[in-house]
Amino acid sequence: MFSEGQWWFAGFFVVAFVILMIFSYRGDKKLHKKQYKGSLKILLGFVLFVVFLFALKILLKN
């Protein structure tokens, strides 16, 4: 399937990618707080809506 070298490369790539993403988002943290203010409420509303739809589906099925 995959050679040992390919597994090592994949592991190093994932670690390097995660480290790079952490540094990148850490630098933009202040900007994200300003531009995405209130987005958590929208996400919560969307999740509650999906839960409501599933509950409605279960109730109407019986």
User: What single-letter DSSP state applies at residue 38?
Assistant: T
Distances (CA, A) of 53 to 24, 31, 32, 46, 58: 37, 34, 31, 11, 9
pLDDT band, residue 31 (cuts 50/70/90):
confident
pTM for the whole structure:
0.50
Q: What whole-number distance in Å separates Cα of residue 32 and Cα of residue 24?
A: 12
Neighbour-count burial for 15-41, b at 16+ CB within 10 Å, e otherwise = eeeeeeeeeeeeeeeeeeeeeeeeeee
The confidence score (pLDDT) of residue 35 equals 86
Q: In the predicted model, is pLDDT for residue 60 greater than 90?
A: yes
User: What single-letter DSSP state applies at residue 33?
Assistant: H
